[in-house]
A and B are shown apart, each in its own frame.
Chain A
Amino acid sequence: MKKLKEIHWFLLFLVIFLLAYIPGFGWRTYEPLLIGVPFWVWYTIVITVILSITGRLFVHFFWKDS
């Protein structure tokens, strides 16, 4: 059970990691601009925020459960 949980968390972090980097292959355009900043930069920021939230959940549920 604990191993299964570990795998779930590992996969979750892996997905976030891939989501953060994979779009980098395609970004050759700056449009649309949001508040003067390219969309892809906002995407990177959102992914980092998601990582922070996931980190908080990981700390709360996984380490607490163990």
Chain B
Amino acid sequence: MVQIFIGMSIVFLIIVFGLGYIAFKRTEATPQEYFSGGGTLGTIVLFGTMFATIQSAFALLGLPQSGYIDGYGMLLGLPFGCAFLGIAIGFLGPRVWKAGRKFNFITVSDFLSHRFQSNTVGIIYWISALGFLAPFIGLQIIGGGITIQIATGGAVTYIQAMWIMLAIIVLYTLFGGLRAVAWNDTIQAFIMITAVVTALILILRTVGFSNVETELSKLNSLELLTMPGPNGVWTFKYAISYGLLCTVGGLIWPQAFTRLYMSKDTNAFKAQAVWFPIACILLLFSAVTIGVFAVTILPDIENTNQVLPILAMHLFNPYIASFVLIGVISALMSTSSSQLLAVSAIFTQDIYKKHINPNASHANQTLVGRISLVVFALIAGIIAMNPPSLVVWIGTFSIQGILALLPVILCGLFWKETTKAGAVAGSFVGLFVMVGLLANILPSSLTFGFMPWVSSNIITLLTVIIVSKFTNSFSEDHIQSYFKLWKRDEEQYTNKSQPQDLVSDSSVK
């Protein structure tokens, strides 16, 4: 088994590095090329990279774990939330893309700083993004290390495994930039969906459709099939919070939002409304069902976040087991490479270029981007070396925390009357309330039973609206520079040529 896994992994790595090398040859030494792939992603690659970036270790390790412990509850909100993300991409994508093309944006802070004419909003965003994203990268590496350790039967230790995986991710991301990440994401999205669906089919064949009820009944675990599950986790409010988290988070997480700048044209966004729901059903339904059915096969798994790898090695022939394990590793690699590139872009564009060396050449910015990518990877590796017992807490903390400024971003995209003061106040309040709720500094009664991000975002939205109502608006010219551009959103879907005013206005940078 170990030899087969290593052999198949080598084939996989040849593909990964091959794509990375081709991307490297095509990537010029400019920040736009390195961090945005030169804005050349077509429909398939845009879908692949968005999907693989969003479906992290959580999908292939966390969902089977959730099914194993808490049953089907996750499926009330999550697949629909993810599916709705496709529609949301269709609505927001063209706006973000057009603004990005016109003003040469690379990061989310670029958009916020320019839209609200305020460096403060941009700074608050990158502080929150770096603070919340860095631990999340460590989390992916932890998952990868454990998976490889299990797959090799302990021949490769956890520490060796996590550093090997990190080194691989850094190598192809370092040289090929976003283009390498996006191409690999597309391959990895295909592998992870195929792997998890294959695993489900084989597990269903093993358990038998009609035996599930009997087997679960014997184990006194029938509650796995109902809401809110045996541990009472999946209340309606929690489920809807989770579903919506996936919809909005999938757009606003920096590694996802910046991908909206990268599309070749606005037509690529159309397909996401159709493809996302189908892909989400296949992946999420399969992953949770695997977890529930696993209870009937191996009811005493201790390391529950490794349900899928353990099951694969226990049930499948070595080739299929290795393929499933590579699917798990693909999910981890695709997300962590995107996150590393996102934090590297934030450091280079939002900190180095704006505050340290405003006159940096393109080549210099790209070099700083590469160096910072290695530094962030080392930080993630150090976090992963001693997997904290708070792994789940870190995950929940991070994925919600990054949404602190969600209402500010949405107001910037859709509400003309948002003022600078409203955006600044909303940013401060958003970050304060989010951290306060997640760290239990503020009373948990403020959440009303929903996940903390819901209350935090409602309070932030109200702050933006109230402050904007009583403060001075932007000049009409500034507002129109965005909303005149966006007014023609729908027209562009049927017109392959892009509007003339999308000619880059680099003066704003």
**Nearest-CB distance from A7 to chain B (Å)?**
15
Give A13 to B504 CA distance when docked, in angstroms.
35
Residue in contact with B227 in the complex, picked from A28, A58, A62, CB distance below 8 Å: A28
B491-A66 in contact (CB<8A): yes
- CB of A4 closer than 8 Å to a CB of B: no
- CB of B394 closer than 8 Å to a CB of A: no
Give A27 to B71 CA distance when docked, in angstroms.
13
In the complex, what residue of chain B is closest to A58 when comparing beta carbons?
B273
Note all chain A residues with C-beta closer than 8 A to B227: 24, 27-28, 40
Residue in contact with A21 in the complex, picked from B210, B240, B285, B491, CB distance below 8 Å: B240
**Nearest-CB distance from A43 to chain B (Å)?**
10
Instruction: Enumerate B274-300 residues with CB–CB distance to A below 8 Å.
Output: 274, 277-278, 280-281, 285, 289, 293
Interface size on B, residues (CB 8 A): 42
Instruction: Enumerate A45-66 residues with CB–CB distance to B below 8 Å.
Output: 45, 47-49, 51-52, 55-56, 58-59, 62-64, 66
A38-B87 in contact (CB<8A): no
Chain B residues touching A, majority SS = helix
B9-17, B76-84, B302-310, B361-369: which lies at the interface: B76-84
**Nearest-CB distance from B452 to chain A (Å)?**
19
Residue in contact with B225 in the complex, picked from A30, A44, A45, A55, CB distance below 8 Å: A30
Note all chain B residues with C-beta closer than 8 A to A28: 226-227
Interface size on A, residues (CB 8 A): 32
Whether A36 contacts B72 in the complex (CB less than 8 A), given A48-B280, A56-B273, comes out as no
Note all chain A residues with C-beta closer than 8 A to B271: 59
Note all chain B residues with C-beta closer than 8 A to A29: 226
A56-B274 in contact (CB<8A): yes
* Chain A residues in the interface with B (C-beta under 8 A): 13, 17, 20-21, 24-25, 27-30, 33, 35-38, 40-41, 44-45, 47-49, 51-52, 55-56, 58-59, 62-64, 66
- A24-B240, A33-B212 are known; give 10 further A-B pairs, CB within 8 A: A24-B76, A24-B227, A24-B236, A27-B227, A35-B209, A36-B209, A36-B210, A44-B79, A63-B490, A66-B494
| A-B CB proximity, top 9 nearest | A66-B490, A30-B225, A52-B277, A55-B273, A36-B212, A63-B493, A36-B209, A20-B80, A27-B227
Can you list 28 A-B contacts with CB-CB less than 8 angstroms, sorted by A residue number? A13-B87, A17-B80, A21-B76, A21-B77, A24-B76, A24-B240, A27-B227, A30-B225, A33-B212, A36-B208, A36-B212, A36-B213, A38-B72, A38-B225, A40-B227, A41-B285, A45-B79, A48-B281, A51-B80, A52-B277, A52-B278, A55-B90, A55-B274, A56-B274, A58-B90, A59-B270, A63-B494, A66-B491
